[in-house]
Amino acid sequence: MPHHSSTQPVKLTTEGHTDLQNFGHRKPEPKQTQLFSEAKQSNSTNQSKSMSLFRNLIQLSTSKSKPLLQNPNFLFTSLSHFTTDTPTRYAGLEPTKGDEKPRVVVLGSGWAGCRLMKGIDTDLYDVVCVSPRNHMVFTPLLASTCVGTLEFRSVAEPIGRIQPAISKAPGSYFFLANCTSLDTEKQMVHCETVTDGLDTVDPWRFKISYDKLVIALGAEASTFGIRGVKEHAIFLREVRHAQEIRRKLLLNLMLSDMPGISEEEKSRLLHCVVVGGGPTGVEFSGELSDFILKDVRQTYAHVKDYIHVTLIEANEILSSFDDSLRRYATKQLTKSGVHLVRGIVKDVKPQKLILTDGTEVPYGLLVWSTGVGPSPFVKSLELSKSPGGRIGIDEWLRVPSVPDVFAIGDCSGFLESTGKPVLPALAQVAERQGKYLANLLNKIGKDGGGRRNSGKEVELGDPFVYRHLGSMATIGRYKALVDLRQSKEAKGLALKGFASWFIWRSAYLTRVISWRNRFYVAINWATTFVFGRDISRI
């Protein structure tokens, strides 16, 4: 968690008054107090020993005070030392002063938030990002990491590389934390650190004042209230999800080859079920079938006839694509060994799922990819909402009910009063919104409206307009789909086959954010083509 000594001092606010500026003169810690008390009691018997102990305590206190004064971030890394059973103490970033740059606080590190941070002018603003992950995930290539086509680091871009000011500038920070509440009257966000359940560090809370707030918290996978989904299925949205899928897939492959495993249990362990026929579900099914045909059948020859993939969809797969492309995808997936099932899941149990018609489908690996919806935190915010429960925004991506607050990405949607439809939860929508808002905030800052409550008179310019650039999806076996229509009803170019696969790879290679990751992706693809996928379970 980067901090810099050139920023204003971080303060603790409680019923008693504590200030980091005067923290070098704090009272001795309990252990020191106890030792001092013992020394004082022994003064009557041995005064020289008492004085020696007292001098040692002074040296100990001095040595502990210096690092604290020289390094203000000590407060964040050791806040547990300063909390008691009295009301919880808070630390944080106070409102910016006249001689400081305005502060833009970004909640989230997805496509929208990272594109915003990349484009914002750090000569005009300090940038503070709050997110439970310190990287952005290039989601279109995430399915490829599950089977070893790509390495995990190839799809993860560190926040510090996207916006270097967060690592270097005195007033810009990244905090590994979740936003727990929002105070729009005081223009402050309340946060709690993320520790992943580690026992070594307890979560602590802090506050951040903002001049401009951008909510880019994304969305959560939809379970439609189906029992057992969260407990037994894996959602393919984060790198850790891909890691979990890979480890479980390879574990099942090795367990199925153990002596004494029954035919029924072997078939269950090697049955990979994907629920959801959207681009993510289809791409993962295609990558998995490719992995089975090219790598599993050679390395795990004893179980090659047992492993199979089932894709369950309530309606048509790839419903947003052209009809001819959908038919082609269905044909190619079936030819690759993917079993397509039209049905609705009613219940998910530890080793099987049940459809509404009563059909039981045993599985060893269950991947859930049925779309997204607003997170419980977004629903809990007392802000205007768009249809579907997203944060309501106007044509300039502002939250009109509160000042200096913007929302972009999957967590936001146009209010009904704008007359615009809620945009789909796509990476290109989030990226375009982030780019637009970065330019808008830069314009506001140059016109003198960067500080809180000071941008009301600034001319905002043209509103945000989204134009769909098309959709792409790979279906395995060097084949893909490219649909360049702007909408389902519009006419446009539809491509399929090897040429589309080449376009798909070329397009995504150029869209990867950094040259570092482009190099990683290109090398991974070349290595996989020559040597096959890595099947090590690490």
Three-class HEC string of 95-134: CCCCCCCCEEEEECCCHHHHHHHHHCCCCCCEEEEEECCC
16 band by pLDDT with thresholds 50, 70 and 90: very low
CA distance 27 to 6: 26
Does the structure show a pLDDT above 90 at 131?
yes
CA distance 333 to 274: 13
Which is more confidently placed, 11 or 174? Answer: 174
Amino acid, res. 263: E
CA 81 to chain centroid:
30
CA 227 to chain centroid:
25
Which is more confidently placed, 501 or 199? Answer: 501
Amino acid, res. 338: V
Which own/partner pairs from 482-489 qualify as long-range (CB within 8 Å, at least 24 positions apart)? 483/320, 483/321, 483/322, 483/325, 485/322, 488/320
Which is more confidently placed, 1 or 415? Answer: 415
Does the structure show a pLDDT above 50 at 336?
yes
Which is more confidently placed, 398 or 77? Answer: 398
Q: Identify the CA nearest to 138 among candidates 411, 428, 535.
A: 428
Residues 6 or more apart in contact with residue 111 via CB below 8 angstroms = 136, 139, 409, 427, 430, 431, 434
Residue 84: predicted pLDDT = 36
Residue with tokens 């939250």: 399
Tokens representing 258? 């153990």
Helix, strand, or coil (residue 17): strand
Which is more confidently placed, 342 or 79? Answer: 342
What kind and span of H or E run contains 338? strand 338-342
- DSSP letter, residue 90: B
342-370 average pLDDT score: 96
457 band by pLDDT with thresholds 50, 70 and 90: confident
Amino acid, res. 372: V
Lowest mean pLDDT among 347-356, 441-450, 489-498: 489-498
- The number of C-alpha atoms within 13 Å of 485 and in the hemisphere containing its C-beta is 16
Does the structure show a pLDDT above 70 at 88?
no
Length of the chain: 538
Residue 329: predicted pLDDT = 95
Contact 216, 434 (CB under 8 A): yes
Does the structure show a pLDDT above 50 at 40?
no
Residues 6 or more apart in contact with residue 114 via CB below 8 angstroms = 136, 157, 159, 162, 163, 434, 513
CA distance 407 to 142: 25
Lowest mean pLDDT among 229-233, 318-322, 531-535: 531-535
Tokens representing 35? 């030792």
485 band by pLDDT with thresholds 50, 70 and 90: confident
Residue 79: predicted pLDDT = 39
CA distance 419 to 518: 40
CA distance 456 to 452: 10
Tokens representing 20? 């980091």
Does the structure show a pLDDT above 90 at 91?
no
